[in-house]
Structures are given as structure tokens and as C-alpha cells.
Structure 1
């Protein structure tokens, strides 16, 4: 058994999702979650100030060929929850308590980019706005997610 696997049993999953190596020690035991993997979500920027990830339209469509509205929400909840966890810090966990979405336009191909920015970063609650855009930079949807921060 390699040291990489011993230290980080989910290292391959983390690398595939674009998680920088310096975060592996925090996320290694848990990975990014099977839904993030199934949806093809890949993080491109991670900080408390903004969390960015992409997701392919292909494989995440409704029967009419458009990106499923639920896929927008999965991307938003993933970004908002990871951003809240970064704010909360080690030894604390976050749980989503509210999310809403407004869909502005459809996408039938390409990559969707989601960007989460904080609206409120408190001691026990965070709220993030998450905007999904297409490859041309057009807004596809806007979500708002609130997470509660708990001590472990």
C-alpha cells in the first residue's frame, strides 16, 4: 500500500475534482462526495472569498436536452457548502439549511461555471450567492444557500 493511499484514501477523487494538494489533509478522509464525482464537478478556485467550479452539461440534462435545473442546484450547494466549510475552519462542520434557485436561461452543451461569493460570514451561519454562467459568460441561474456551522 502506498503512502499516498494511506494518508489520503480519496486522493484520486480529490485530484480529479481539482482540489489543491494543500487541502487534501483536510478533505482526504472524506473526499468530495459521490454526487460531485457523478456530476463531473471540478473546482478551479478555492478560497473563503470565492469558490469556483465547472460542470459539464453533457450527462446532466433533462429529457429536452437542457441542463437539468437540479444540476444547477447541485453545483450551487457544492460550492456554497465548501465555501462555508473553508470559513468555518478545522474542527467544525457545516450543514445546509436553505437553498433557492432562479433559472434565467438554458444550456444544451459545454461547461457551466459556478461562482460562490459570500453574502454573510458569521460565527454560526453563512450565506452565499452562487451564479452559474455558460462558456460565453451569460448568466444561467442564480442561487442562494445558507449553511449552519456546527462544532464537531
Structure 2
């Protein structure tokens, strides 16, 4: 399992993001809707982007390997429907894994399996300093 679930005051912990499965090819995680909403009680679009970037960056870091880091350089998201309760689950799937860039498509669904958001993240891979 990823060190993402380790203790520490990081954004993913504040938002309740849990990594359930992690490999360079595929990362699965979930996040509660409660506490991550906008004023109308709907899942905040920015929260979906944080979930997507957390999972995609985790996969990219695993792809990059030891002594290298992954830094998100571009994210796009289409919000298909709202979520108002329960959890959303995201699956990040690698679509490109090179030496300097890795790109993931992230599908976020609600508790009924309905697609809430589709995101795409590209990370730059570089040597750790």
C-alpha cells in the first residue's frame, strides 16, 4: 500500500482520501462527500480534482521509481453529475508512462456506480533533489 495513508498533515488526509489499491498501472481510492461539498451541499468540483490528482500522482510516483519524483503539470476534469452523500470512488488508469511524463485517466463514481467526474492528469517525472 502507498505511504499516502501514513500519518501526517497533508491535504489528502484532511479530505478523508483513502488509497485502497496502488500500482504504477492502476490506483484506486475513495473519499467521503461529507466535508468536501460546496455551499449547496454538492460534492465540490475542486475536491474531485484533488482526489484525481492524488491518485494519478501516486501512480506516477510508482511508475517513476526510486530516487525520482512526480509533479502534476496539467489536470482537466469534466463533472458529469452531482454527489450529495456517501463516498466517491476513483480509479486512475495509466494511459502513458514514459521517462519524463506519465498520464492517467481518472474515473470517479458515486456509491451507485454512476460516473460523477472524468479527469486526466499529466505528471512530469524527474530525479529527486
Fold similarity call, TM over 0.5: yes
Aligned pair in 2 of structure 1 residues 143, 88: CA closer, same or farther (>3 Å)? same
Larger fraction in helix: 1
Show the counterpart of 2:103: 127
Match of 1:109 among 78, 85, 89: 85
Q: Which residue of 1 aligns with 2:114?
A: 138
Q: Which runs of 5+ in 2 are unaligned?
A: none
- Cα distance between partner residues in 1 of 2:117 and 2:60: 20
How far apart are the structure 1 equivalents of 2:120 and 2:8? 21
1:87 to 39, 58, 63: 63
Counterpart of 1:75? 51
What is the Cα deviation at residue 82 of structure 1?
0.5
Unmatched tracts of structure 1, length 5 or more: 1-19
Aligned residues: 128
Greater relative CO, 1 or 2 (CA 8 Å, sep 6+): 2
- Note the aligned Cα RMSD (angstroms): 1.7
Task: Give the ranges of 4+ consecutive aligned residues of structure 1 lying more than 6 Å apart after TM superposition.
Answer: none
Structure with higher Rg: it is: 1
